[in-house]
Structure 1
Amino acid sequence: MRIVPTLSWALVETDETLDARLLPLLGAIRAKGSLAAAVAELGLSYRAAWGLLRNFQRMLGAPLVELEVGRGARLAPAGEKLLAGHRAAAQRLERILPALAVELGSRAGRGLPAARLTVTASHDLVLAALRDALPAAAGLSLDLAFMGSLHALQQFAEGRTDLAGFHVPFGVHAAGELAPFRRLLRARRDRLIRVVDRDQGFMLPRGNPSRVHGFRDLVRKRLRFVNRQRGSGTRLLIDRLIADEGLEASSLIGYANEEFTHPAVAATVASGAADAGFGLRAAAAEYGLTFVPRVRERYYLAVRASALAMPAVLRLIEVLRGSIFARIAGTLPGYRREGAGTVVGVEALDA
């Protein structure tokens, strides 16, 4: 049996629940720039959509949508904040779903596909999309739990998962910077499967009004930053870049304000709760943010050498090399899949 939690919103003062159709409507208006196009996509009547907007604008005391003759529709600041908050909360909820599915599967002993791999991994949009596409397209299931890179590798080192996803920036050769990863891997025991190369950088309000190009700009202009959680690969990268600029982490406003996924960081910036974040180009694009690239990195899946003969692992490697994965990676900006599915030794981290 599979149990799926859902996310809903209610007003604190009245305990009145928001209609489940409201947030999809706001998302469609944002994407289409037209109320008519939004209702057509959702299968709502124009009258029903107007009723939803009027009702909840009255409840919230602020306009959610701005309509202009000849210019279509766009979200008002309150609508943007509500939609961004919902997306951030949904991303946080998504982090616990794989762990819940594993727990139920272990207790019930049924309901999960036979060809199944457990994966602990640093958050990645392509990997999440692959998980969703695999069962129907390839007869393979990934029980995927997102967490920090080091936590994922720790789970792998302890034999608690089949694969562990982590990422390392190009040009990182210093022993001290690779040490956290190398400490949890064994050259004879483990192998690495290449997944993607991806871009990370600053996620900023559209147009980069504060002209941010480095962490020094954030400090000098006293801009609010939203960080990634301690132990994540992106947090390690952020700390290295801050040190490279000769700054103290404590000098950044918001350094202690942490989120657990790239979309959650982007949503925080899009909502106006922060002036800058750091993460994936694809997450910035999803939220209509300006992206300033800083680093290209390689994402790997660690696997036991002895597991490379497992049918499920062989099937995963085949998928990474094939059209399913090419189609997924091709839809997200900032990703390159050349070499996906290539198996290399741990020493590749030093290359």
Structure 2
Amino acid sequence: MQHINLSYSWTPHQAQTEQRDQTSPLRNPLMDMLQAVRATGSIAGAARVLQLSYRHVWGELKRWEQVLAQPLILWEKGQAGRLTEFADKLLWAERQAQARLAPQISTLQAELEKTFAVAFDPDSHLLTVYASHDDALVKLREHSASQSLHLDMRFCGSVDAIRALNEGRCTVAGFHAPLQPDASTLTARTYKPLLKTGQHKLIGFATREQGWMVAPGNPLNITGWNDLRRPELRLVNRTLGTGTRLLLDQWLENQTPSANRPTGYEHEEPSHSAVATRIASGHADLGLGIASAAHAQKLDFVPLTQEHYWLVCLKSALNNPAVIALRQVLQSADWQHLLSQQTGYRLHEEAGQIQSLKQCLPWWPHR
């Protein structure tokens, strides 16, 4: 059984147009050589048709015979070049595949051309973003693509996102923190070592609600943080390094006497939507998340706190054309209208504006 590997190449626009008029968009050099040998009756004739040297065509045919472990040409001295039965079957199989798959091949080619057009468009920009999972960021990715700004977005925990920024794996990171995070909180103690005044700059993005996602109708009458003390309730948790996990662990840390770990504390999910799905399927009773994720799964939502969702970049990246384009999108009326329609979100009052860490996060003493 032979394995098929697909590849693609680029050609000038005019040459590509002419090629489409004559051949299939999916071509194989071996098939072209076999067809040329059949049409001309010789390797020399095939080389002329293909505009290749005789030595190259002869060598490639010999090489392919070794790769396929089958003869392709009847190498008879003084006789016209003829294909073997195996080579005839190869050409037949190729014609059958082309006939069956031509529509799918043409669609794939068009999609590849559309995607790669971004790389050749001098007015388009690409921005790599690592960020805490957020539904509004998904909307932003869709909207910004129509503005020639393409966000290569990787969702991970807030801590991992900032680390990726500091290690040069992305240009912008996304993280979230309570509106008024005290300097002694677990959130502050976690983020502060990762963010340096004078080195990092915040970009206003959005304000959103975090709360309990619960079953439709809230049949267990879950109303606030203290419900975590109810041993019969099954929690679904977020993974370590996420801002949402920091909120829950902060509450547990503040309890006097210390609260026992809730039932289900060890069961972790990587995103708000995954938490919502587990609750909707009846495998958990409550989990921290954002209102939009609860709404998408038709769950009830019990608001607990509001928080800022920040984008952050290095000061040295502020003049990056892609970062400038991002800020312009965030300040546009079209984007602000889209965000206002997203459940559980409010536009940040300084959306798209550069903010200093000291002005927005009370984790450093003001001079």
In which range does the TM-score fall when normalised by the shorter chain? 0.5 to 0.7
- Give yes or no for the alignment of 1:150 onto 2:159: yes
Amino acid at match of 1:293: P
Equivalent-residue separation in structure 2 for 1:315 and 1:334 (angstroms): 26
- Give yes or no for the alignment of 1:339 onto 2:346: no
Partners of 1:191 and 1:346 within 8 A in 2? yes
Deviation, structure 1 residue 329: 1.1
Deviation, structure 1 residue 112: 5.6
In the alignment, structure 2 segments of 5+ residues that lack a partner are 1-5, 8-115
Match of 1:257 among 241, 257, 267: 267
Deviation, structure 1 residue 241: 2.0
Amino acid at match of 2:314: R
Deviation, structure 1 residue 175: 3.7
Aligned to 2:107: none
- Give yes or no for the alignment of 1:132 onto 2:142: yes
Deviation, structure 1 residue 247: 6.7
Tell me the SS of whatever aligns to 1:298.
strand
Tell me the SS of whatever aligns to 2:307.
strand
Equivalent-residue separation in structure 1 for 2:249 and 2:340 (angstroms): 30
RMSD: 2.3
Equivalent-residue separation in structure 2 for 1:147 and 1:324 (angstroms): 27
Equivalent-residue separation in structure 2 for 1:206 and 1:162 (angstroms): 40
Q: Alignment identity in percent?
A: 39
Deviation, structure 1 residue 199: 0.3
TM-score of the superposed pair, with normalisation by structure 2: 0.63
1:261-280 equivalences in 2 (<5 Å): 261-280=271-290
- Give yes or no for the alignment of 1:282 onto 2:292: yes
Amino acid at match of 2:148: G
Equivalent-residue separation in structure 2 for 1:111 and 1:143 (angstroms): 16
Aligned length: 245
Tell me the SS of whatever aligns to 1:350.
coil
Equivalent-residue separation in structure 1 for 2:126 and 2:257 (angstroms): 45
Tell me the SS of whatever aligns to 2:236.
strand
Match of 2:223 among 199, 209, 213: 213
Deviation, structure 1 residue 179: 2.4
Deviation, structure 1 residue 250: 4.9
Tell me the SS of whatever aligns to 1:217.
helix
Aligned to 1:5: none
- Give yes or no for the alignment of 1:349 onto 2:336: no
| Structure 1 range deviating more: 312-321 or 176-185 | 176-185
Equivalent-residue separation in structure 2 for 1:311 and 1:157 (angstroms): 20
Deviation, structure 1 residue 251: 2.8
Aligned to 1:105: none
Partners of 1:193 and 1:302 within 8 A in 2? yes
Partners of 1:239 and 1:249 within 8 A in 2? no
- Give yes or no for the alignment of 1:324 onto 2:328: no
User: Are the structure 2 counterparts of residues 277 and 153 from structure 1 closer, same or farther at C-alpha, using a change threshold of 3 Å?
Assistant: same
Tell me the SS of whatever aligns to 2:159.
helix
1:1-351 equivalences in 2 (<5 Å): 113=119, 115-135=125-145, 137-177=146-186, 178-246=188-256, 250-337=260-347, 338-347=349-358, 348-350=360-362
Equivalent-residue separation in structure 1 for 2:200 and 2:269 (angstroms): 30
TM-score of the superposed pair, with normalisation by structure 1: 0.65
Equivalent-residue separation in structure 2 for 1:284 and 1:197 (angstroms): 17
In the alignment, structure 1 segments of 5+ residues that lack a partner are 3-109
Partners of 2:211 and 2:290 within 8 A in 1? yes
Partners of 1:219 and 1:253 within 8 A in 2? no
User: Are the structure 2 counterparts of residues 247 and 169 from structure 1 closer, same or farther at C-alpha, using a change threshold of 3 Å?
Assistant: farther
User: Are the structure 2 counterparts of residues 233 and 264 from structure 1 closer, same or farther at C-alpha, using a change threshold of 3 Å?
Assistant: same
Partners of 1:116 and 1:142 within 8 A in 2? yes
User: Are the structure 2 counterparts of residues 221 and 212 from structure 1 closer, same or farther at C-alpha, using a change threshold of 3 Å?
Assistant: farther
